[in-house]
Structure 1
């Protein structure tokens, strides 16, 4: 919901403060940078002080941060506060995935992680309806205050979510180099390609379609339909965990995303745009949910939070580079078809990287535990 509302708030802030396009883009970039730092910091903290306490801290960080952000008086203060909001959000995602991973095992762990991630789409739906329903009543500041109400969920977490006790372990000094092996590099590459393609395509494709005269992509109904299409993508991926290994599911959905991207780029009519947009959304978010399920399962509990946070952080570097690269390529007059080829290659590279990850037999996701 937080990320979704930001996408609706940015154009309003852009107009109200007479920002340049570069300044408006920096708002999105600083949020992503904050999420990268938050993934690293809170992931590490989850392994040190526990998942529950870290989850509450990250939740309070971005909720209270949004409340303070509602009173920002200028661009500079907005950027600084938004960085900390991004930190909290970037920390919550891997810590929540780590908690669920600790709670379950085998195929049930995979299903629960994918289903938990499907609430990302529900958050986007809430953001869409809030923006549509309250835009004429509340200013962007009011919408941020509504988002800040999520801080009260920390009370629910504190009261009803138990801490998972980790087995006693020897004290050790964590160093990235200790775990920087082939498995981790391939996982990071897969994460990078998922986010590179997702943010590169979803930020630019609507603009490309609009430039072709296909105004349906600007409508509220289109946004809702595309978001709703994400849910069956998650659900079918969760169902497939009963049938095949998660790495194969991820590869299938990445290839499906590549096909969907090409179809979407070539769509000309409103009906074709909606159908192809749904295909793209279905496969891309299914792949995202699957890699969320894979990542914490690869590592032992003692380092699970840290490594999950690092993996998502590496992925978010791709989220920064993807949209920037597309903008540069368009300015250089590179054809849209050539840009789609780049996305296709990146998606296929991500699928191949995941398939190359060696997985121990006991960690296979089709265990009947």
Structure 2
């Protein structure tokens, strides 16, 4: 570990970190609101544009097609040209495309703009957690990143609430809610002025003076608030320093798929693929499935709102457990509980049973993400951190693309039981991959994880 990283590790959680949490958290909240808003718009568009179930599934997958390319490109460029620049550019793309999608009059044009909106949202969401986790000491990192992901829940709840109040109330209410999703463009002014570049990334690029200035600013802010800073721990100073060898596009992908990191890389792919497939099998289609099951649009939106509210304790309970039992244990536990709830959902018969099973499923599935967003950046070295996280997220988005389309075929043939039985099986496979091939990250600095079992390809502990 370098002296700079050792200094970051000694800085306690302070106002500087709270500001980062809010800036990144609002980005996640608007990403989630945009994605969730589409699920509430689809039942209306089905009637307005006379869409088939397959066309609905394709529209539901549009965001995830964009997410795939956005996450892939964002992660790669984040390691090559910097985290902050990518985060801000992604927000611009997402807001412009969301605005355009609210103004179209055909499902084909809507599809095109939703793909672009998904690219911006995917690029932004994949960069925030790896970027901001590099500012936080190991003793806070799991809870910080889990809480950061918890802002997704606020976006989903806001989408459900706005859709419940606006979509049924106005003839073209769906356009109004999509226009609202374009408003976060104003956050660019805040981000540009207040967000620093990652000092760990700057140091890995040989830009030591810039990195030093940012860490000194973090230390000064803590001292101004009366927080005493201990000397950097000798064990951190003595730890092996990370490589400063600069990578390129091909080289970074080669590192991820090389002998030292291959097991970790494939594990993150399986983790992201399973949770994203299972999650969007449920949340993208739930308003439409409830309507097709006999509910009115207003009633289905009300049920969905309650299920979305259950995300909030789901995320933040898992964020708390990230530091108590570790990220890997949190992910596996919540995946298994989510699988059990999905299985229960498959056999529901009454509206109340659907509500209870849906609330529990929402709680655990979102809790998984609090673990996943904390865990993924930790298991990759700084030089390929966003590339690794972006690639894993992009692979996961394949599950988001496939899930709504498969549900469009499965539901007419097998009903709720088929949809949620499929979800359970996928979650069980994902939890097995994390349990068997994952590594321990709790209580370890990013450099310690890199220098230990990740770099040397040792087995999980």
TM-score (structure 1 length as normaliser): 0.89
Question: Residues 1-369 of structure 1 correspond to what in structure 2 (within 5 A)?
Answer: 1-135=33-167, 136-137=169-170, 139-165=173-199, 166=201, 167=203, 168=206, 169-175=244-250, 176-180=253-257, 181-203=262-284, 218-331=299-412, 333-334=413-414, 337=417, 340-359=420-439, 364-367=441-444
Q: Distance in 1 between matches of 2:159 and 2:375?
A: 28
Aligned to 2:21: none
Shift in Å, 1:311: 0.7
Q: Is the 8 A contact 1:205 1:265 kept in 2?
A: no
Contact 2:80–2:247 (CA under 8 A) maintained in structure 1: no
Structure 1 gap ranges (5+): none
For the residues of structure 2 that align with 1:112 and 1:198, how far apart are their CA atoms?
23
1:217 and 1:223 in contact (8 A); partners too:
no
Instruction: Give distance in 2, aligned partners of 1:188 and 1:35.
Output: 15
SS in 1 for 2:134: helix
- Taking the aligned partners of 2:385 and 2:132, their CA distance within structure 1 comes to 11
Instruction: Name the CA distance, whole Å, in 1 between partners of 2:347 and 2:109.
Output: 42
Gaps of 5+ in 2: 1-32, 207-243, 447-461
CA offsets per residue over residues 324-347 of structure 1, 9 Å max, x none?
33443445x457656544433321
**Aligned pairs, how many?**
365
Shift of 1:207: 5.9
Q: Please identify the structure whose Cα radius of gyration is greater.
A: 2
Shift in CA distance, 203/2, structure 1 to aligned 2, threshold 3 Å: closer
Of 236-245 and 210-219, deviating more is: 210-219
Secondary structure (helix, strand or coil) at the match of 1:104 reads: coil
Counterparts of 1:215 and 1:17, CA distance in 2: 19
CA contact (8 A) 1:227 1:281 kept: yes
The whole-number CA distance in structure 2 between the counterparts of 1:335 and 1:66 is: 32
CA shift for structure 1 position 20:
3.7
Alpha-carbon distance between aligned partners in 2 of 1:334 and 1:27, rounded to the nearest angstrom: 22
* Contact 2:375-2:441 at 8 Å conserved across structures: no
Cα displacement (A) at 1:211: 6.0
TM-score, normalized by length of structure 2?
0.73
Q: Is residue 113–residue 292 contact of structure 1 (8 Å, CA) maintained in 2? A: yes
Change in CA separation of 1:103 and 1:67 when aligned onto 2, cut-off 3 Å = same
Distance change >3 Å, CA 78–CA 346, structure 1 → 2: closer
- Of stretches 46-55 and 10-19 in structure 1, the one that deviates more from structure 2 is 10-19
TM-superposition CA deviations, 1:189-241 (whole Å, max 9, x none): 11111111112233456666666667799433322211111111111111112
Q: Secondary structure at the match of 2:334?
A: helix
